[in-house]
Homo-oligomer: A and B are copies of this chain.
Amino acid sequence: MSAPQPAPRQRRKEARPGELLAAALDVFVEKGFAAARLDEIAQRAGVSKGTLYLYFESKEALLKAVVQESMVPLIAEGEDLAAQAASDPAATLQHLVTRWWREIGSTKLGGIPKLVMAEAGNFPEVAQFFFENVVLRGQALFRRVAETGIAQGVFRPCEPMLICDLAIKPLIFNHMWCQSFAHCDTSAIDPEVYLHAHLDVLLNGLLTHPHPTSPLPEHPQK
């Protein structure tokens, strides 16, 4: 039986915010915003709850900061990439979707929309912030590609925002679904298989002259 020595205190002003945000992301995604306890976030970051309040004003401000720091840079990066106009809208659409999967859908960041949407009614400011800084800017990326594709006659003519919604919403939802029912849905389709099937059917349904596509998966799960 060793004496329960209290962990030695450290002063690390620079590193704290990042560590707290990382811990907060973990706990928020695991438990949801309401059920996340600030004590647990602090503990995972290796500090006490008091320290949390040295860096963030409130629980809500912490969530806002998580969104700000983790999602907004990715959007900004996407905007830079999209600025280099690609000539092939179908390929660009595929590229954007794939990038979403790599950067967000396959990481714990994918849990943020669920978080924000679940609490949108109780914390409208967070929802608004997310909507303006992530959703609208993300939609703009897709929208430009859709407009180009329609103008070129590659995509069937329609409201560009439709293409945007049809392309990305199913994937966000599938992530939420898998996250929520992981313990129930033992024979769920692998999210990456879903991603490819979705892209295939989407493009096939959207293109004016569908390419011959690879066959859809017959037995996605072993």
A residues near B (Cβ < 8 Å) are 30-32, 34-35, 114, 116-122, 124, 127-128, 131-132, 135, 156-159, 161-162, 165-166, 169-170, 172-174, 176-177, 179-181, 183-185, 187, 189, 193-194, 197-198, 200-206, 210, 215-220
Whether A159 lies near B32 (C-beta < 8 A) is no
Contacts of A156 on B, CB cut-off 8 Å? 215-216
Closest B residue to A31 by CB, please name it: B121
Docked Cα-Cα span, A132 to B166, in Å, equals 28
Contact of A34 (CB < 8 Å), options: B32, B114, B120, B217: B32
In the A-B complex, the 4 residue pairs with the smallest Cβ-Cβ separation, listed nearest first, are: A205-B205, A173-B173, A158-B216, A118-B118
In Å, the complex CA distance between A201 and B163 comes to 10
Given contact pairs A132-B184, A161-B189, A162-B194, a sample of 19 additional A-B residue pairs in the complex whose CB atoms are under 8 Å apart:
A30-B121, A31-B122, A34-B34, A35-B122, A114-B117, A117-B118, A118-B180, A124-B183, A131-B185, A157-B218, A165-B174, A165-B189, A166-B197, A166-B198, A172-B173, A201-B201, A201-B206, A204-B204, A205-B206
- Give the residues in chain B near A135, CB-CB below 8 Å: 181, 184-185
Q: Is the interface of A mostly helix, strand, loop or mixed?
A: helix
Distance to closest chain B CB from A33 (angstroms): 9
Q: How far is the CA of A90 from the CA of B120 in the complex (A)?
A: 36
Chain B residues closer than 8 Å to A116, beta-carbon distance: 180
Task: Name A200's contact: one of B34, B198, B205 (CB within 8 Å).
Answer: B205
Is the beta-carbon distance between B219 and A181 smaller than 8 angstroms?
Answer: no
**Residue of chain B at shortest CB distance from A221:** B159
Among A31, A32, A132, the one with the most B-chain Cβ atoms within 10 Å of its Cβ is A32
Q: Is the CB of A218 within 8 A of B35?
A: no
